[in-house]
Amino acid sequence: MKLDEPVAENPLLTVEDLEVGFESFDGLAEVIDGVNLSIGKGEVVTIAGETGCGKSVTMKSILRLLNQPPARVNGEITFDGTELLSLSDREFERVKGQRMSLVFQDPMSSLNPTFTIGEQLTDTAQFGGDSDTGVVEFFRRRFSGERDEARERVLEMLREVQMPDPENIMDSYPTQLSGGMRQRALIAQALLNEPDLLIADEIGTALDVTIHDQILDLLKDLIENHDLSVLMITHNLGVARQVSDRVYVMYGGRIVETAPTEELFENPKHPYTQGLIASIPRLTGDEMATGIDGSIPEYLDPPPGCRFAPRCPYATAECEEARPEMYERGPQTGVECVLYDEAVPASERPTVEETRSHMTRRPGKQTGGD
C-alpha cells in the first residue's frame, strides 16, 4: 500500500510533489525530486540527512528563498489552507512575516553586525511581516510610544530565552556576544511575532556540546509553552531523536523513510537509514560500522531508479530501473524501498544488524569514494 501524504493529523503545512531543479552550464540539476511532507499543528517534525541530500533546499523552497531562475520550483506547498507558490511576493511576505519564523544555523552571519541586538529585535517586533509600511507610518511607529512597548516586549522575550543580563545585551553588538548568546538572541527574534510555524535549520550545531545541550533544552520548553509547530533540519540523528515527534529521512533529494521518532530509531527500515544509524559512534562501545561506501548521487545525472541503489548492499536490477514507491508500513510510517513491497517476505528485509555487518570492514577493499 502506498503511503498517502499528508500523514499529519490536522496539517499546518503540507508539501506535495515538490520538485526543485537548478539550471547550470552543464544542464538541469534535479536536486529535489518529488518530496511529500506534512507538519501537523503542534507537531515537531525533523528532516534528517547528510550534507548535500537536499534538506536545506527543501526548507528554502518552502520559504521562497531560492532565486528563480536559476532554481525551478514546482509542486504544491499549502500553509494552513493557503497555497503558497501561487501567492504574489507581497502576499507571501505577509504570511511569512506574521506566521513563520526561521532560525539559521550560523548565529553570527544571521545577525547584522552594525546594529545592537536591541535595535534589531525591536525592529522585528515592530515591523515583522510589514516591510512596506511607507515613510510616514515608519516614522510614526519608530518615534512613538510604540517603540518603547516593543522594546519591553523584546526584553521579556530575551528573559524567556534565558539570556543572561538582558538589559545590557540589548545595547550590545553581536560581536560582543558568545555563540550561545547569539543563538538565544536569534531564537528570541524568531519568536517575537508569535509565529505558528518555526523552521530551525541545524540549530546549535555550530556550538559546543554543553551549550548545544542547553539550547535544545530551551527549545523544548519554548515549543511546549508557545504551542509551536516546528520543522527541524538536522544532520544529527541524536538531535532528531531528542526533540522531534516524527522524522523524515532524506537521501539524494527524496524522502526515503518517514516514521514517528520512536519507531524510526527502534525499527529503522530503509537500508540508508540503517547504514546511517550504524555509522554513528556508540557510547556503549559496540563496534561501529565503517560507513556507507560510495558518495551521494550526481544531481546532473542521477541514478534512474532508486537513488540509493549504487551504494545499497541489497540493490537488485529492479532497483536500478524504477523509483520504488513509498510503501506504508504502519501508522505515519513509510519506506521508499522495494524490499518493503507486500510481495516480499518479511525474512528478506534487512535488520540494522545485517546492514551493520555488511558495512563493517572487509579487508583489502578498494573504495575510493566518500
- Binding to another protein by residue 210, rule CB under 8 A? yes
- Binding to another protein by residue 44, rule CB under 8 A? no
- 22 sits in which H/E element: strand 11-24
**Binding residue count for another protein, defined by CB under 8 A:** 47
Please state, in angstroms and rounded to a whole number, the distance separating the CA atoms of residues 63 and 116: 26
- Binding to another protein by residue 217, rule CB under 8 A? yes
Q: Which of 216, 226, 302, 313 binds another protein (CB under 8 A)?
A: 216
- Binding to another protein by residue 212, rule CB under 8 A? yes
Kindly tell me which of 66 and 206 has the beta carbon lying closer to another protein.
Answer: 206
SS3 183: helix
- Binding to another protein by residue 281, rule CB under 8 A? yes
Please state, in angstroms and rounded to a whole number, the distance separating the CA atoms of residues 358 and 274: 11
Interface pattern 245-274 for another protein (x via CB under 8 A): --------------------x---------
Q: Which of 187, 237, 249, 338 binds another protein (CB under 8 A)?
A: 237
**Scanning the structure block, which residue is given the C-alpha cell 532554481?**
71
Burial class (CB in 10 A: 0-12, 13-18, 19+), 54: buried
- Binding to another protein by residue 208, rule CB under 8 A? yes
Give yes or no for a contact between 116 and 170, defined as CB atoms under 8 angstroms apart: yes
Q: Which of 87, 95, 108, 288 binds another protein (CB under 8 A)?
A: 288
Burial class (CB in 10 A: 0-12, 13-18, 19+), 246: buried
Interface segment toward another protein; rule CB under 8 A; list 92-100, 113-121, 193-201, 280-288: 280-288
- Binding to another protein by residue 167, rule CB under 8 A? no
Please state, in angstroms and rounded to a whole number, the distance separating the CA atoms of residues 104 and 101: 10
Interface segment toward another protein; rule CB under 8 A; list 72-80, 98-106, 178-186, 333-341: 178-186
Instruction: Tell me the three cell numbers of residue 144.
Output: 512613538
Instruction: Tell me the three cell numbers of residue 179.
Output: 555563540
Interface segment toward another protein; rule CB under 8 A; list 81-89, 290-298, 312-320, 331-339: 290-298
Q: For the residues of 276-321, what is the DSSP string, one character each?
A: HHHHS--TT-PPPP---SS-PPPTTS--SS-TTGGG-TT--HHHHH
- Binding to another protein by residue 368, rule CB under 8 A? yes
DSSP 339: G
- Binding to another protein by residue 175, rule CB under 8 A? no
Q: Which of 84, 199, 255, 276 binds another protein (CB under 8 A)?
A: 276
CA distance readout (Å), 179 to 26, 109, 175, 185:
39, 11, 9, 10
Give yes or no for a contact between 47 and 103, defined as CB atoms under 8 angstroms apart: no
Interface segment toward another protein; rule CB under 8 A; list 23-31, 77-85, 195-203, 204-212: 204-212
Shortest distance, position 353 Cβ to another protein, whole Å = 13
- Binding to another protein by residue 279, rule CB under 8 A? yes
Interface segment toward another protein; rule CB under 8 A; list 22-30, 113-121, 138-146, 361-369: 361-369
- Binding to another protein by residue 26, rule CB under 8 A? no
Interface segment toward another protein; rule CB under 8 A; list 28-36, 105-113, 211-219, 221-229: 211-219
